[in-house]
Amino acid sequence: MHHKHATSSNHPYNVELLINPRHWDVRHPDDDLRRERLSRPAGSSVRMQFIFGSALDDGNYVRDTGPGQKAEVFVCPNLSGSQYWNEVRDHRNALCAFLHVPAVPADDYMHFGNEGTVHHAGGTLRMSDGGTGVVNTGLRFKAYDNLYACDVSVFPFIPAANPALTLAALSLRLAADIKAALS
């Protein structure tokens, strides 16, 4: 769900209302931690998330720690959207009132930033016609004449919403460009 007047600078977030999310949250990046979390008894819960797009951060990394070991992952704190604190709190309170949820203390359970969660990882082959990209806006590697990339790694910005339609559009455009080049 998003605000009907949302733009990149006005209400730039999506809202997720999650009921008993621990049972379906397959996005948990560590299978062992997910299994352990699901094995503990718990009652019903509701989680409300306001999700903002994020600029890429070159301080983030994934490192190989050797055969049979889990990769080391580091994600810098991300404060995207923190300037919308009051607006988001007011939306949260309005949604709670609409759903007849008892009053939530003013700022309890609110925080900003992904705090290490990976929603739509990307950017490792970022698209740019400038100096910072790995592929150009036609998705061709800058260092090669006949090599292309077309997945979320080419995104120069990680969106708040699911990237599937944008990726499908990029794929169709690339397929048409390659077909035209071969004709």
Average pLDDT, the chain: 80
The token duo for 157 is 């910005």
Pairing of strands 157-158, 54-55: antiparallel
- Please report the pLDDT score of residue 113 as a whole number: 54
At 86, phi and psi to the nearest 5? Answer: -65, -40
Phi-psi region of 85 (alpha: psi -120 to 50; beta: other; left: phi over 0): alpha
Residues 94-113: pLDDT tens digits?
Answer: 888 888 877 666 665 565 55
Region 12-30: mean pLDDT is: 70
- Please report the pLDDT score of residue 180 as a whole number: 95
Residues 54-91: pLDDT tens digits?
Answer: 777 788 888 999 999 988 888 777 777 778 888 888 88
Residues 128-173: pLDDT tens digits?
Answer: 888 778 999 999 999 999 999 999 899 888 776 778 888 999 999 9
Chain center to CA of 126:
15
Residues 26-41: pLDDT tens digits?
Answer: 555 677 877 777 777 7
